[in-house]
Amino acid sequence: MPVLVDIGTLVTPRTGARQGELALLPDAAVAYRNGVITWLGAQRDLPASEDDGQRVSAEGGLVIPGLVDAHTHLAFGGWRADEWARRLAGTTYVEIARAGGGIARTVALTRAMDDEQLLARAASFATEMAALGITTVEAKSGYGLDRETEVRTLHAYAALDRRGPLRVVPTYLGAHVVPPEFRTDRRAYVDLVIEMVAYVAQRRLARFVDVFVEESAFSANEAREIARATAAAGLSLKVHADQLASGGGAELAAELGAVSADHLERISDAGVAALARAGTIAVVLPIAALWLDAPSPPARRLIEAGVPVAVATDFNPGTAPTFHLPFALTLACVRGRMTPAEALDGATRIAARAVGMEADIGVLEPGKQADLAVLDAPDVEHWLYHLRANACRRTLRGGEVTWSA
Ligand SMILES: [Zn+2]
């Protein structure tokens, strides 16, 4: 069976440990069979039974679990760089939206793509993400909003998951915004979302349902209705909460038993306490906060309160047009006061929990998938401190090399 050898240091979060408690193993090797780790330890202790001569060298690099981006809007049409430039010059988002820009513009461009274009675009991003050491991505629909484009988006994610290089965890985000054609009849749109939740669950097109709870999106009561449909369909819930205003979104996520509450730039003290009590994972998205020149999500405050904190990119054409997850981790340290070890944990073990895959990924130990990244860095601190364009030399997903520098 194949063995990854010549590992300078292997670093992995530990199952059940406090966030940021990492196991460090110098001069290590990892053996795997059929994509699953069978043994890891000091290379000098590698049992002959694990070594059939198929060796992949880590060339002295740092080996971490494959990175998990637990929050992206991966499939969308077009970009919005022109809007970004206008906002930098002082035009407000409301003015841009009134002129036909914003999410509505991305929705129109996404609906205009055929199936092949949707898949090819997402696949091109996925290839670049794998090169950064990412092996799993949560991907939301929500730029189609009509029945047909939402389903086509989720089919594209299923196809991408089959083809690689990433594992793709699909999320139905029909409750992103009320689309233009329903603006005079929100009720009908909420009914459509509820119907779609059952539809995508029956066809196994989504693992999660996400609701954007914000004054400009969906109300607490609308979220409660969608959450009931989600539970009835056997899917898990995520909530976009407290991004633009402190509207009780985190408290609602806790009340509804959501797996994660995402964003949280404006979370209240009561919201922090509610997440801690409910065991809800906080997914912080420091790139979106930076691009909006908004306060950073209070990662330190959440961790101190006992809330597990995942760090993700929020990759989307409006507020986070980069999928550079290591950059998000560095930002989570600098602006969110996470330690580098906590940040790594937040993009591996805790991110895996946030996407419901903790049984298979996020930690390097026997029985878990051989998803790993080999970094040209002496340790985690140096990796996130130096933040090169790309420090990743090699990525393995299920034991298969998906990127090699
Ligand atoms: Zn988002």
pLDDT in tens, 332-363: 999 999 999 999 999 999 999 999 999 999 99
Tell me the C-alpha distance between 344 and 188, whole Å.
Answer: 42
Q: What confidence score (pLDDT) does residue 257 get?
A: 98
Alpha helices in 292-379, H assignment, sequence order: 299-304, 325-334, 340-346, 349-354
Q: How far is the CA of 212 from the centre of ligand 1 (A)?
A: 8
The answer to whether the beta carbons of residues 328 and 286 sit under 8 Å apart is yes
Q: What are phi and psi of 393, to 5 degrees?
A: -95, -25
Distance of CA 240 to the CA centre of its chain: 13
* pLDDT tens, residue by residue, 112-162: 999 999 999 999 999 999 999 999 999 999 999 999 999 999 999 999 999
State the pTM of this model.
0.98
Tell me the C-alpha distance between 301 and 248, whole Å.
Answer: 17
* pLDDT tens, residue by residue, 66-115: 999 999 999 999 999 999 999 999 998 889 888 889 999 999 999 999 99
Q: How far is the CA of 381 from the centre of ligand 1 (A)?
A: 27
Tell me the C-alpha distance between 266 and 288, whole Å.
Answer: 13
236's tokens: 């898990």
Q: How far is the CA of 174 from the centre of ligand 1 (A)?
A: 12
Q: How far is the CA of 325 from the centre of ligand 1 (A)?
A: 14
Q: How far is the CA of 211 from the centre of ligand 1 (A)?
A: 10
Residue range 316-325: mean pLDDT, rounded: 97
Q: How far is the CA of 207 from the centre of ligand 1 (A)?
A: 16
Alpha helices in 168-260, H assignment, sequence order: 186-202, 220-232, 249-255
Q: How far is the CA of 89 from the centre of ligand 1 (A)?
A: 24
Q: How far is the CA of 210 from the centre of ligand 1 (A)?
A: 9
Q: How far is the CA of 320 from the centre of ligand 1 (A)?
A: 9
Lowest mean pLDDT across 48-52, 97-101, 173-177: 97-101
Q: How far is the CA of 62 from the centre of ligand 1 (A)?
A: 30
Q: How far is the CA of 71 from the centre of ligand 1 (A)?
A: 6
Tell me the C-alpha distance between 295 and 318, whole Å.
Answer: 17
Q: How far is the CA of 314 from the centre of ligand 1 (A)?
A: 5
Q: What confidence score (pLDDT) does residue 247 get?
A: 82
Q: How far is the CA of 386 from the centre of ligand 1 (A)?
A: 27
Q: How far is the CA of 312 from the centre of ligand 1 (A)?
A: 10
Q: How far is the CA of 172 from the centre of ligand 1 (A)?
A: 12
Q: How far is the CA of 73 from the centre of ligand 1 (A)?
A: 6
